[in-house]
Amino acid sequence: MTARTGRQYLEGLKDDRTVWLGNEKVNVLENPVFAGSLKGMAGYFDWQNAHADDCLVEDPETGKPMSASLIVPRSADDLQRRHRAFDRFARYSNGMLGRTPDYVNVTLAGFVGRSDIFTAKGDTVYADRLKCFYREVVEKDLSLTHTIIHPVVDKAMPDTEGVNGQLALKVVRRTKDSIIVRGAKILATLGPFADELFVYPGQPQPPNVDPATLLAFSIPMGTKGLITLCRDHYGVATSPGDQPFSSRFDEQDAFMIFDDVEIPLDRVFIDGDLDVYNGLMRHGWAANIMQQTCIRAAVKLEFAYELCARMAQATNSDRRPDTAALLGELWGYGCLTRSAIKAAEADARDWGNGAFFCSDEPLRALRAQMPGWMVRANEIIKAIGSHNLLATASIEAIDNPEIGPLINAFMPGANGMSARERAKLFRTAWDFAGSALGGRVELYERFYLASAPRNFALDHMFAQMSGQWTQFPELMAELGVV
User: Residue 448 interacts with ligand FAD (CB under 6 A)?
Assistant: yes
User: Residue 461 interacts with ligand FAD (CB under 6 A)?
Assistant: no
Question: What sign does the dihedral 62-67-69-70 (CA atoms) show?
Answer: negative
User: Residue 444 interacts with ligand FAD (CB under 6 A)?
Assistant: yes
Q: Which is nearer to ligand FAD, 42 or 104 (CB)?
A: 104
d(Cα 135, Cα 350) in Å, to the nearest integer? 23
Binder to ligand FAD among 13, 85, 96, 188 (CB under 6 A)? 188
88-107 footprint of ligand FAD as x/- string (CB under 6 A):
-----------x--------
Closest CA to 291 of 387, 224, 360, 352: 360
What is the footprint of ligand FAD within residues 402-441 (CB under 6 A)?
Answer: 440
Closest CA to 41 of 193, 146, 189: 193
Q: Which is nearer to ligand FAD, 60 or 453 (CB)?
A: 453
Closest CA to 102 of 76, 127, 81: 81
Closest CA to 45 of 65, 30, 16, 18: 65
Stretch that binds ligand FAD, among 116-124, 144-152, 377-385, 421-429 (CB under 6 A): 144-152
Stretch that binds ligand FAD, among 64-72, 146-154, 173-181, 219-227 (CB under 6 A): 146-154
Binder to ligand FAD among 55, 130, 148, 336 (CB under 6 A)? 148
- Please report, to the nearest 10 degrees, the dihedral formed by the alpha carbons of residues 342, 347, 350, 355 taken in order: -10
d(Cα 194, Cα 13) in Å, to the nearest integer? 8
To the nearest whole angstrom, how small is the minimum distance from the Cβ of residue 181 to ligand FAD? 16
d(Cα 149, Cα 409) in Å, to the nearest integer? 53
Binder to ligand FAD among 206, 439, 453, 473 (CB under 6 A)? 453
HSE-CB at 228 with a 13 A cutoff on CA atoms is 33
d(Cα 57, Cα 60) in Å, to the nearest integer? 9
Q: Which helix (H) or strand (E) holds 296?
A: helix 286-314
Backbone angles phi, psi at 284, to 5 degrees: 115, -10
To the nearest whole angstrom, how small is the minimum distance from the Cβ of residue 2 to ligand FAD? 25
Q: Are strands 226-230 and 18-21 parallel, antiparallel or unpaired?
A: parallel
Q: Which is nearer to ligand FAD, 219 or 450 (CB)?
A: 450
Binder to ligand FAD among 379, 454, 461, 473 (CB under 6 A)? 454
To the nearest whole angstrom, how small is the minimum distance from the Cβ of residue 50 to ligand FAD? 26
Binder to ligand FAD among 149, 172, 274, 281 (CB under 6 A)? 149
Q: Which is nearer to ligand FAD, 331 or 447 (CB)?
A: 447
Stretch that binds ligand FAD, among 4-12, 51-59, 167-175, 448-456 (CB under 6 A): 448-456
To the nearest whole angstrom, how small is the minimum distance from the Cβ of residue 10 to ligand FAD? 21
Q: Which is nearer to ligand FAD, 99 or 364 (CB)?
A: 99
Helix then strand then coil, in percent of the chain rounded to 5, is: 50, 15, 35
Q: Which residues bind ligand FAD (CB under 6 A)?
A: 99, 145-149, 186-189, 253, 440, 443-444, 447-448, 450-451, 453-454, 457
